[in-house]
Amino acid sequence: MTEILQVTIFGLLLGGVYALFASGLTLAFGVMRIVNLAHAVFIVAAAYATFFAFEELGIDPLVSIIWLVPLFFILGVGLYMTFFVRIEGSPRYVEMTVLLTFGIAIMIEGLLGWRFTGIYRQTQPSYLTDAYFWGDYIVPAGQLYAALLSLILLIALWLFLRFTRVGYGIRATMQNRDAAQLVGVNVRRVSAISFGISTAFAGAGGAFMSYLFPFFPFRHWQWIALLLALVVLGGMGSLKGAVAGALILGVASSLVVDQIGAGWGPMAFYAALFGILLVRPQGLFGKEAVA
């Protein structure tokens, strides 16, 4: 029992970080119906920025969040206004976002591969190997800090959506884009801000990835597959679904790794994806499509 509880602690801590990774992806789909295949490559790019800020300037990965979030927010808004506004009225908008973000992912992957090669990298802050002890249980310091900061960012996002004027517009757009526009919501502005927030969360996630997981430019394809599994499990467009799915699969994956082996960890994500598509295609918190 002690071993299972210990593995569960590890899973919950990682699940908190996964929730931050997935929340930006599901926000982009919920507001703008963008299936963002480039989300993971943004995280990897932010991990590289964090790595070199640490190596060259001595900036701690957790401190790097302070400049990564606004930088990637501006990047996200710029990308939306440059590319996505051109296809807003397309009858095949969702399909076109898949192709567009796939192209963006390939382009950024190529730039990262050209500049940094395919060598595995990982930031080595002082707390990477530190741990706290709670009775018989070990809580890794690096994972704890990442999970707590992820929780703070997710709470900040919830407060922003709940109590600000822009947040009202975002929630209205998520519920019904056309109706929101009819009552005066500037849907294009809201969409640009939402995509900026989505990309900003990828930037914050990259700071955590830089020391929690070894990374290299082409690793983002594995990550986008895992994140899509999280989002589909929770329900496409549902923020609370993304958080719930991340925690569930974080624990499930950790248990699989402990009981079977490290190579089987990703199978927990894909098995959950397969199962939820069979039983409840809209996900745990998603809304059933109306014909």
Nearest partner of 171 among 160, 75, 84, 182, judged by Cα: 160
* Residue 1's pLDDT band (cuts 50, 70, 90): low
Burial tier of 188 (Cβ tally within 10 Å: 0-12, 13-18, 19+): middle
Dist CA 148 CA 154 (whole Å): 10
Terminal CA-to-CA distance of the chain, rounded, Å? 48
Percent of the chain predicted with pLDDT > 70 = 98
pTM: 0.92
Pairwise CA distance, residues 266 & 155, whole Å: 27
Average pLDDT, the chain: 89
d(CA 38, CA 109): 9
What span, in angstroms and rounded, lies between the C-alpha atoms of 218 and 42? 12
Which tokens sit at 243?
């958080």
Q: What is the C-alpha separation between 36 and 284, in angstroms, rounded?
A: 21
Query: Contact 206/71 with Cβ under 8 angstroms?
Result: no
Specify the 3-state DSSP secondary structure of 122. Answer: coil
The 10s digit of each residue's pLDDT in 138-167 is: 999 999 999 999 999 999 999 999 999 999
- pLDDT tens for residues 20-78? 999 999 999 888 889 999 999 999 999 999 999 999 999 999 999 999 999 999 999 99
User: In the prediction, which pLDDT does 225 show?
Assistant: 86
pLDDT, tens digit, 9 for 90 and up, residues 107-122: 999 999 998 888 899 9
**8 A C-beta contact, residue 196 and residue 36:** no
Residue 171 and residue 190 in contact, taking contact as beta carbons nearer than 8 Å: no
Please say if the pLDDT value at position 2 is more than 80. no
